[in-house]
Structure 1
Amino acid sequence: MTVAITGANGFVGAACVAEARAQGLAVLAVYRRTPLPEWADDPGVTPMQLDLGAPGAAAQLMQTLPEHSALIHAAAHLGDDPKALRRDTVDATRQLIAARGQRDIRLVLVSSISVYDTDRVQPHETIRESSPLLPVTDLGAARDPYAGAKRAQEHLLHDADTEDAWILRPGAIWGPTRSWHALQGFWASKLFVTIGSDGELPLTHVDHMARAAVAAARTPTAGVSVVNVLDDDRPTRARFLRAHRRCYGWPRLNVTVPYGAWLALARLLRPVAGKLPGLFREPVLRARMMPLRWSNDRQRGAFGLEDIDTFEGMMARTRDGEASQ
């Protein structure tokens, strides 16, 4: 099998290339700007420079792929610019789906748990693949443009009545060079403010993400199958903070504010919320900080994967991986 990987020089895409090669698969590594130097010495990796948002690029990619191959679509704009998200995330995905047509090319879309509509769930609920999703809307009107773009990607795949495709919804992806995450709180100068709760942090180590993506690329499915991709060992924010301090020594200064107290503050500031940062706006606060439980049972059932190590073990591996780079 040949596996094409878009965004192959990005954080997730590069990990997918490494995992596919470790499993002996030929890789077509699709990148927009700079190929990774390790590809030059690997005869199993064929670099392909493409701007997937450009006219004809998706068709060129699909024409390069043989039948019975797979495409892991990890390329996406990571910021909040609606124009860039529309071009590089939504339109690029639309063109890939159209260019694939009815060919025997398994499609694996790297989506996000940000597509869940946390305004329609209650604290301590368990989020499953069947939980409520954000409405499909213009990116400028979405809870945040990135989440809106990911939801639009999924809608395109379902709307096309696609066969043999996977939608993978990872949590906050972490790993070497990205040991921290956006679901902990915020910095106030040298002080970090943790918005504490007893909910699980929906984290996904990049190595676990890559294993799931390559497993999906190798696994046939009927129609479009959706899977949450999450670490089995999901810490609370307090446990994450302890482990990160032990491995990295920071943040040295931290104050923890209970989620309920911060939610009350956000509601008090609702009349001026439009002028404040995201965590002062209730929809964003609920999406990032509300105490929830998460299910990855379908991931286990579909691919039979388990964590490589405990959470603390993965944190130590992450630190050691950075030291070896």
Structure 2
Amino acid sequence: MGGLKVCITGAAGFLGQAAVSEARRRGHGVCAVVRHISQVPLAWAADPAIRVVEADLSKPGRSVQQAVAEADSLLHLAARMRGDDAQMRAGTLAPTRALLALQPRRFVLASSLSVYDATALPPHDALDETCRTERRPNLRDAYCRAKLAQETLVLQSGTNAWILRIGILYGQGRLWNAHLGLRLGRLVIGPAGGQLPLCHVRTAAAALVRGAEQAPRGIEIVNVLDDQLPERGVYIAALRARGDVSRHLPVGWSVPYFLAGLVRDRGPGLLRRPVVAARLKPLTYPNRRMQARLGPLSTADWHAAMEEPA
């Protein structure tokens, strides 16, 4: 399928650049919305099917309004990755609210698996789209709270939308993640068991563009993950073989979970039980709905990512 007009926010970011490449590979014209024109890859200038718009999405000007009006689909990837709640409201929620007000024909949101409440699941259970979202967001980080609020904006908007909850995004030069445990220099302290909910940047980009191509049934929620998900210990062993880490000290997830209970979830990060469960509890992560609704998608092999240069 080709020939669509796709508007992509956050287009200059890690995921955004992959989404632009995938949209062009699929034959679509792209309006790439970026915060700073200096971040735009030089290669885009040679492609007449890529139009770049520089904008502050919290207050979309005429250029963004026109881009959304002309687009068959809006892929909303722009969001803050770090910061406090006030920064998240400004960098994630305000742009989402403003873009929804423009009433795009089809809205595809890049959300996150972080919105789930892993404390509600027993170890080794499956975390899928039927699982509940976090009930104690005050004990999670500002990113999780912003993603929950962002999804609420979409759910309340009545817009035809895909909410794609993307797993741990990885790719060339981005192999470490907080689900592996605590990293002290080249030492990793954390569990050896349980799947890592990985999603290669190309897998995520492919799912986003498929969402742009087909109509959701109202508002649909889909988890986006690779087919092959390694156990933590296997993945850490691969990092050691690369020389990225030198030693792994296996400590079960129940240890920090117990300690968090002793301090009544008043400590930082891994001394709060919802954080421990979200990052370290051994679970499985099926992607059956992704393959059924957006596929078939050929997902990346994490072994191959390990062989790419940093």
After TM superposition, is the score higher than 0.5?
Answer: yes
Aligned Cα root-mean-square deviation (Å)? 1.9
Give the Cα separation in 2 of the matches to 1:71 and 1:17: 12
1:267-300, CA deviations, whole angstroms, 9 ceiling, x for partnerless residues? 33x15x53x4311222211111111111211100
Partner in structure 2 of residue 81 of structure 1: 84
- Supply the AA of the counterpart residue of 2:151: E
Structure 2 counterpart of 1:107: 107
Q: Which residue of 1 aligns with 2:295?
A: 304
- 1:177 match: 173
Separation of aligned partners in 1, 2:18 and 2:272 = 34
Q: Residue 32 of structure 2 contacts residue 50 of structure 2 at CA under 8 Å; is this kept in 1? A: yes
Unaligned runs of 5+ in 1: none
Is structure 2 residue 37 aligned with structure 1 residue 37? no
**Matched residue, 1:279:** 270
Note closer, same or farther for the CA distance 1:289–1:235 as it changes in structure 2 (3 Å cut). same
Separation of aligned partners in 1, 2:123 and 2:98: 38
Cα gap change, 1:281 to 1:142, in 2 (>3 Å):
closer
Deviations 1:69-119 (A, max 9, x none): 11110000000311110011111101111112xx5x211000000111123
Letter in 2 for 1:27: V
Which residue pairs with 2:66 in the alignment?
63
Cα distance in 1, alignment partners of residues 246 and 285 from structure 2: 29
Q: Give the match for residue 182 of structure 2.
A: 186
How do residues 222-233 of structure 1 correspond to structure 2 at under 5 angstroms? 222-233=217-228
Structure 2 gaps, min length 5: none
In the superposition, relative to structure 1, how do residues 215 and 251 fare at CA in structure 2: closer, same or farther (>3 Å)? Answer: same
Deviates more, 1:142-151 or 1:230-239: 142-151
Which residue is equivalent to 1:237?
232
Partner-residue secondary structure (3-state), 2:107: strand
**CA displacement 1:157-209 (0-9 Å, x = unmatched):** 1111222x10000111000121211210122244221x215221111000100
Q: Kindly indicate whether residue 31 of structure 2 is the aligned counterpart of residue 20 of structure 1.
A: no
Which of the residues 46, 50, 54 maps onto 1:49? 54
**What is the aligned counterpart of 2:249 among 235, 252, 255?**
255
Question: 2:67 & 2:127 partners in 1: Cα distance?
Answer: 38
Give the distance between the partners of 1:38 and 1:186, measured in 2 at CA: 38
Give TM-score, length-normalised by structure 2: 0.92
Distance in 2 (CA, whole Å) between partners of 1:252 and 1:197 is 15
Aligned residue pairs, count: 305
Greater mean deviation of Cα atoms: 146-155 or 118-127: 118-127
Give the whole-Å Cα distance in 2 for the aligned partners of 1:314 and 1:191.
Answer: 21
Q: CA deviation at 1:151?
A: 0.8
Q: TM-score by structure 1 length? A: 0.88
Compared CA separation, residues 215 and 159, structure 1 to 2 (3 A): same
Q: Secondary structure at the match of 1:75?
A: coil
